[in-house]
Structure 1
Amino acid sequence: MADRTSSSIVVEAGRPEIMAIIADLEAYPDWASGIREFTVLEAAADGRAERARLTFDGGPFSDTVGLRYTWEGDDRVSWRLDEKGSVVTGLEGAYTLADDAGATRVTYDLTLDVRVRVPGMVKRKAEKRIVDTALKGLKTRVER
């Protein structure tokens, strides 16, 4: 896997409320820019996804990939690639939630590998755009 991209945002809500929005994968197309479809393939007894299929439009390319999830209560969720796409060959990510002066700091970590050769600086810039856009969308969705 390549270098990790990470960014954080403070959201005016508690961890359970934020994690409920994050856990509702099938609603992502309503608030997460570039996500066309999210389908839960397997869920745990608590209803949270264990496996899901994601279809996205990522600017110069689109792809569909399978993801496997690990949930740590309302503190953290991580995912990794379970099925490669036609372009995406590696993907790991996580949302980590921590209390922050009456609000919650949400940190999004992402590592993405693609089949197409992309200069490192361009790839990191694209990852940063994905992470920052997702965090802003999440904040807007939770705080509305």
Structure 2
Amino acid sequence: MAVSGSKEFDVKADPATVMAALVAVERLPEWSSAHKSVTVESTHPDGRPLRVRMTVSVVGITDEQVVDYSFEGDEKLSWTLVSGTQQKQQDGSYVLTANGDGSTHVAFELTIDPKIPIPGFLVKKAQKMALDTASKGLTKFVEG
């Protein structure tokens, strides 16, 4: 069963700076403890990541994932799961909006669908960890 979640937060940096941090996917392990390794396998013509292989470990479950990234300027980054050892679906996005004061409003959304039945409390815990990492980890990485 697919589970979706979202979180909105502000980062004290302009959208281009926040997008630059998100585009640097190989640096995900620096601000996301769930990401153990990240390798960019191919890029878009502008050099931004297209296909990325990663090892992610959440609530004791390790997933080998391949995801495809897409971009809409410096306003939106999204990804979709191509293959995973533990998930049959994963879709996520960051939408960035300038606040007018030099900061950025970030809207993060994530949908996951595990391949095997996982107790609801574990799915909710994993979802909460992902949402917290997306907000707190990214904010600290960009502002730090």
TM-score (norm 2): 0.92
Aligned to 1:34: 34
Unpaired runs of 5+ residues, structure 2, are none
Give the distance between the partners of 1:3 and 1:65, measured in 2 at CA.
Answer: 18
For structure 1, list consecutive stretches of 5 or more residues without a partner in the other structure.
none
Counterpart residue identity of residue 89, structure 2 = G
Partner in structure 1 of residue 104 of structure 2: 104
CA contact (8 A) 1:75 1:96 kept: yes
Provide the secondary structure at the position in 2 that maps to 1:4.
strand
The 4+ residue runs of structure 1 with deviation greater than 6 A are none
Report the RMSD for the aligned CA atoms in angstroms. 1.5
Query: Is contact 2:15-2:96 (8 Å) kept?
Result: yes
Aligned-partner Cα distance in 2 for 1:3–1:126: 10
Work out the number of aligned pairs and report it: 143
Contact in 1 for aligned 2:9/2:135 (Cα 8 Å): yes
Match of 1:74 in 2: 74
Tell me what 1:64 maps to. 64
Deviation at 1:33, TM superposition (A): 1.6
State the TM-score, normalized to the length of structure 1: 0.92
> Amino acid of the residue matched to residue 92 of structure 1?
D
What one-letter code is carried by the residue in structure 2 that aligns with 1:93?
A: G
Map of 2:48 onto structure 1: 48
Deviations along 1:5-41, one digit per CA (max 9) or x if unpaired, are: 0001110000000000000010111111211011111
SS in 2 for 1:117: coil
What corresponds to 1:89 in structure 2?
88
Q: Given the alignment of the two structures, is residue 136 of structure 1 paired with residue 129 of structure 2, yes or no?
A: no
Percent of aligned pairs with the same amino acid: 34
Between the aligned partners of 1:75 and 1:105, the Cα distance in structure 2 is 10
In the TM superposition, residue 72 of structure 1 has moved relative to its aligned partner by 0.5
Equivalent in the alignment of 2:22: 22
Secondary structure, in 3 states, of the residue corresponding to 2:141? Answer: helix
